Chains A and B, each alone.
Chain A
């Protein structure tokens, strides 16, 4: 098959550009420590309200025996529960989220708290909030007719004004 010389040059150039961009993305991802959340932990989303961890009364902020500050949350059409979440500033907080129905996402505006909440899996991320204030927490994966209205509130309180609950599993 005859390929014109100029066309051949353009084909080679396009391939080189594509490979160069892939290379740049890979280098960027490695150097800036960007990786997909890989907490592969399954949960039965149908019966989420009957699980121990994601039971209605177990949601919210708590301190584990080792001192890890954990927030257990549920994304369900159309809201995040607990609806008003208070957390201390400058504290490493581990979020554990699960969906009770369809695919959701959670993003807290002005922070890097952002993850997908896939039904059947527990999403986990750890972050620190350096700024005090009220932040809207909203769904960023289309989940149905009420998607636009799916948002709740994160309140970051200065660390010195926040009393953490007693660690669980430790001395009462």
Chain B
């Protein structure tokens, strides 16, 4: 029996002769050098290696509680922001998510004048302490109106035709966030939610690795973004009777 060439022919080029392999290596290196010239800044410089994880793991919540007081002015006491303002609530947010955003402000991969100033005066350790402190608070309470059917569908099923995965796939079915640094959305201030999505949509915010949120937000209509903002605000921590 001879090797049958089909139309679907896979060649695993690494199995060729040693000479070809080294030639290939040289060419790939050359190509990489070429690509190097066009290499621009990464969307984020945060790497979840053991060092960064240890920083979060060893954070001091008591210190974080003290250090977080400078955030109160905008992000509210214990991290629940006022509704009419365009500031995000930080209460219940994943420590990794808050940490990543602060580090992105620090090296300007996420631009915001005021936040960059705060990120610059805080050390990596202080940022970790504050992030962990906020992560221990309950998610903000429910607000907004009964979500629309369209919003629920997008959040739970996405839209295959537009290559939109459901929000819940990454952000959790209760909007609680997920490993490593996918932010919690439940109870989030809707005006902030809309601002964040619109910034991704226009590309003024681009610290999402591999375009993920930029791709999704640009496939959503403004109305869908507004309805999703309401949906996530609504599924916050239920009000106590």
Contacts and interface: CB of A to CB of B under 8 A. Distances in A.
A39 B14 CA distance: 6
Interface stretch (A6-14, A17-25, A53-61, A155-163): A53-61
B13 A33 contact: no
A149 B40 contact: no
A79 B8 contact: no
B47 A47 contact: yes
Main secondary structure of the interface of A (DSSP, over half): loop
For chain B, the bracket of interface size reads 35 or more
B19 interface: no
6 contacts: A52-B35, A55-B40, A56-B42, A58-B38, A64-B30, A145-B178
Interface of A: 31-33, 35, 37-40, 46-47, 49-50, 52-53, 55-59, 62, 64-66, 68, 70, 74, 76-79, 81, 83-84, 94, 100, 111-112, 124-128, 130, 144-146, 149-153, 168-170
B42 A32 contact: no
B8 A53 contact: no
A32 B169 CA distance: 40
Interface string B171-212: 001000010000000000000000000000000000001111
Nearest to B7: A130
Given A40-B14, A53-B32, A128-B7, 13 more contacts: A46-B47, A49-B42, A55-B39, A59-B210, A65-B30, A68-B27, A78-B169, A79-B163, A79-B215, A81-B212, A144-B169, A151-B163, A168-B34
Interface in B2-45: 2-4, 6-15, 27-28, 30-36, 38-40, 42-45
B92 interface: no
A4 to B, nearest CB: 41
Given A74-B210, A169-B33, A152 B27 contact: no
A79 B33 contact: no
A33 B3 CA distance: 6
B220 interface: no
Contacts of A151: 160, 163
B10 A127 contact: yes
Contacts of B2: 31
Given A47-B47, A50-B45, A64-B28, A126 B10 contact: yes
B129 to A, nearest CB: 23
B165 interface: yes
B163 A47 contact: no
A28 to B, nearest CB: 9
A50 B14 CA distance: 25
B31 A65 contact: yes
A168 B12 contact: no
B15 A38 contact: yes
A79 B32 contact: no
B4 A52 contact: no
Nearest to B38: A57
Chain A to chain B: the 6 pairs with minimum beta-carbon distance, closest first = A146-B169, A169-B34, A112-B8, A168-B34, A149-B165, A39-B14
B45 A146 contact: no
B210 A112 contact: no
A49 to B, nearest CB: 5
Contacts of B9: 112, 127-128
Interface in B155-169: 158, 160, 163, 165-166, 168-169
Contacts of B31: 62, 64-65, 70, 168-169
B28 A127 contact: no
Contacts of A145: 168-169, 173, 178
A35 B7 contact: no
A150 B165 contact: yes
A124 B13 CA distance: 8
A37 B210 CA distance: 26
